[in-house]
C-alpha cells in the first residue's frame, strides 16, 4: 500500500470488499455487532476516508467542467473568472488528498501492529475485514487521485493550447517565450489584441 501511495507523491468506493461486506453502508460488522474498540475506531476512520475520497471525486468532475467552460469562454476575463472558481476546488482536493494518505498510513500501521500482537477480543475475521477494507480503500484512493491529476493536466493543456492558437492568429511569428509571457500575464491576450490594433492603425497605407 505504501508503494502505491508513494508513487502518487503524496470517490466513490467499491460497493463491497473481498469478504462481501458492503462498505458503502458505513458500518461493517462481524456477527451483526462491532466486535471491539479496535473495529469501532476502524469504522470511524473508514468513514473519514470515504468522505475525503468523495471530495476528491467531486473535485475531479468540477475541474473537467471548468476546463470545458474555459474552452468556450470568449474573453480572458471569463477565463480568469473560471480560474478563480477552480482555486478553492483544488485547495479542498489537496487537503483531502493529504488527509486521506495520512489516514491510510494510520490504518496500515495499526494493521501491522495487530498482526504482530494479535490482541484479545479481535477475531481472525475482524483482521481480514480490516485488511480487505484497507486494501479496497487504498485502491479507490489511488485511482481517484490519478483521475484528478488527469483532469488537472487536461485543464492546463486545454488552456495552453487555446492561448497558443489565439496568439498565433494575432502574431503568427510569436516565439514560445512570448506565448509563455502571455500565459503568465493577467490580461496578456487583451494587451496583445490592443497592441495589434494600434499597430494596424499606425501602419502606413500602401
Instruction: Report d(CA 45, CA 51) in Å as an integer.
Output: 10
Closest CA to 114 of 45, 24, 36, 15: 36
Write down the domain spans for the chain.
2-160
pLDDT digits (tens, 9 = 90+) for 22-75: 444 334 444 444 456 778 899 999 999 999 999 999 999 999 999 999 888 877
Mean pLDDT for 128-147 is 96
Q: Please tell me whether the overall predicted TM-score, pTM, comes out greater than 0.95 for this model.
A: no
As given in the structure block, the three cell numbers for residue 184 are 503568465
Confidence at residue 32, expressed as pLDDT on a 0 to 100 scale: 44
- Residues linked to residue 22 through DSSP beta bridges, in sequence order: 16
Per the CB < 8 A criterion, the answer to whether 97 and 145 are in contact is: yes
74 SS3 class: coil
As given in the structure block, the three cell numbers for residue 151 are 483532469
CA-to-CA separations, 52 to 82, 94, 118, 195, in angstroms, rounded: 24, 10, 30, 47
Instruction: Report d(CA 195, CA 193) in Å as an integer.
Output: 5
What's the 3-state SS for 41-58? HHHHHHHHHHHHHHHHHH
Which CATH number is 2-160's, of 1.20.120.1200, 1.20.58.70, 1.20.1640.10, 1.10.3720.10? 1.20.58.70
Confidence at residue 1, expressed as pLDDT on a 0 to 100 scale: 54
Task: Give the phi and the psi of residue 122 in degrees, each rounded to 5.
Answer: -115, 110
175 SS3 class: coil
Confidence at residue 91, expressed as pLDDT on a 0 to 100 scale: 95
Residue 7 class from Cβ within 10 Å (0-12 exposed, 13-18 middle, 19+ buried)?
exposed
Amino acid at each position: 500500500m505504501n508503494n502505491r501511495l508513494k508513487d502518487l507523491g503524496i470517490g466513490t468506493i467499491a460497493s463491497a470488499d473481498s469478504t462481501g461486506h458492503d462498505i458503502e453502508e458505513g458500518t461493517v460488522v462481524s456477527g451483526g455487532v462491532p466486535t471491539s474498540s479496535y473495529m469501532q475506531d476502524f469504522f470511524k476512520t473508514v468513514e473519514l476516508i470515504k468522505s475525503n475520497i468523495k471530495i476528491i471525486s467531486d473535485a475531479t468532475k468540477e475541474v473537467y467542467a471548468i476546463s470545458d467552460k474555459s474552452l468556450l469562454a470568449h474573453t480572458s476575463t471569463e477565463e480568469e473568472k473560471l480560474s478563480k472558481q477552480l482555486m478553492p476546488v483544488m485547495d479542498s482536493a489537496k487537503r483531502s488528498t493529504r488527509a486521506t494518505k495520512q489516514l491510510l498510513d494510520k490504518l496500515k500501521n495499526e494493521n501491522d501492529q495487530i498482526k504482530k500482537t494479535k490482541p484479545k477480543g479481535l477475531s481472525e475475521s475482524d483482521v481480514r475485514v480490516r485488511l480487505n477494507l484497507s486494501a479496497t480503500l487504498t485502491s479507490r484512493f489511488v485511482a481517484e487521485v490519478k483521475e484528478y491529476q488527469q483532469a488537472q493536466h487536461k485543464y492546463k493543456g486545454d488552456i495552453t493550447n487555446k492561448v497558443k492558437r489565439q496568439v498565433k492568429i494575432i502574431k503568427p511569428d510569436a516565439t514560445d517565450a512570448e506565448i509563455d509571457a502571455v500565459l503568465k500575464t493577467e490580461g496578456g491576450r487583451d494587451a496583445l489584441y490592443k497592441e495589434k490594433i494600434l499597430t494596424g492603425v499606425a501602419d502606413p497605407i500602401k
